[in-house]
């Protein structure tokens, strides 16, 4: 820079650091396409394939998780523990859910809770609750903000609970946790 009054010149050097914050996905086996539940913990009979489970299909690929659908008192769970690294600015859970039911009316008889738990298994938050009332054709994508849990190891847990009569099926696929 040159001073216009006396013509003296000085300069300044500064360093700039640029960091990449491209999004990354943290969950394993997001579409269950390995044909195995790992690293998910799943109730027996929950892991399904298009060819092995009649009546429901995957959102993409050929594997999915099918919670409930028995028409009797039943609870199914699907969960995975994940460390959300410090230094991230956002964390978003995304999942595809299809609900079908034999229930009718506007009373919630069968429910699916989407929760985040701490490493001791205590519920930190219920991110969403769905029921037979939310039944619809096809899959719908849902998201939840997990930014408050950056720097923690948490468990993402889906719990389907069915009452004593009339089935409700909660079908999950393509579950991701993206951070940046």
In angstroms and rounded to an integer, the radius of gyration of the C-alpha atoms of the chain is: 23
- Give the residues of the chain that fall short of pLDDT 70: 1-21
Q: Locate the DSSP E strands across 13-90.
A: 24-25, 41-42, 47-49, 63-68, 74-83
Quote the CA–CA distance of 8 and 148 in Å, as a whole number.
Answer: 52
- pTM, whole model, 2 decimals? 0.88
Backbone φ and ψ for 112, nearest 5 degrees, come out as -125, 120
Instruction: Report the percentage of the chain scoring pLDDT > 70.
Output: 88
Per residue in 70-99, pLDDT tens?
999 999 999 999 999 999 999 999 999 999
Number of residues that this document lists for the chain:
180
Quote the CA–CA distance of 132 and 71 in Å, as a whole number.
Answer: 12
- Among the CATH numbers 3.20.20.70, 1.20.1250.20, 2.60.120.260, 3.30.365.10, which is that of 24-179? 2.60.120.260
In sequence order, what are the residues at sequence separation of 6 or more whose Cβ sits closer than 8 angstroms to the Cβ of residue 15? Answer: none
Contact criterion met (CB below 8 Å) for 77 and 157: yes
In sequence order, what are the residues at sequence separation of 6 or more whose Cβ sits closer than 8 angstroms to the Cβ of residue 4? Answer: none
Quote the CA–CA distance of 41 and 9 in Å, as a whole number.
Answer: 68
Per the DSSP assignment, residues forming a β-bridge with 128 are 114
Backbone φ and ψ for 85, nearest 5 degrees, come out as -65, 145
């Amino acid at each position: 820079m040159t001073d216009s009054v006396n013509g003296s010149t000085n300069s300044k050097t500064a360093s700039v650091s640029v960091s990449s914050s491209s999004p990354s996905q943290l969950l394993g086996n997001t579409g269950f396409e390995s044909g195995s539940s790992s690293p998910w913990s799943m109730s027996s009979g929950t892991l399904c394939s298009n060819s092995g489970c009649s009546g429901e299909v995957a959102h993409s690929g050929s594997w999915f998780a099918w919670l409930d659908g028995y028409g009797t008192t039943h609870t199914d769970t699907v969960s995975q523990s994940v460390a959300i690294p410090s230094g991230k600015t956002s964390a978003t859970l995304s999942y595809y859910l299809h609900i079908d039911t034999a229930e009718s009316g506007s009373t919630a008889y069968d429910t699916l809770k989407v929760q985040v738990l701490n490493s001791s298994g205590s519920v930190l938050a219920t991110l969403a609750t769905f029921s037979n009332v939310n039944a619809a054709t096809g899959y719908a994508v849902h998201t939840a903000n997990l930014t408050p849990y950056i720097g923690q190891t948490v468990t993402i847990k889906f719990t389907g609970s069915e009452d004593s009569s009339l089935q409700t099926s909660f079908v999950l696929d393509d579950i991701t946790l993206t951070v940046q």
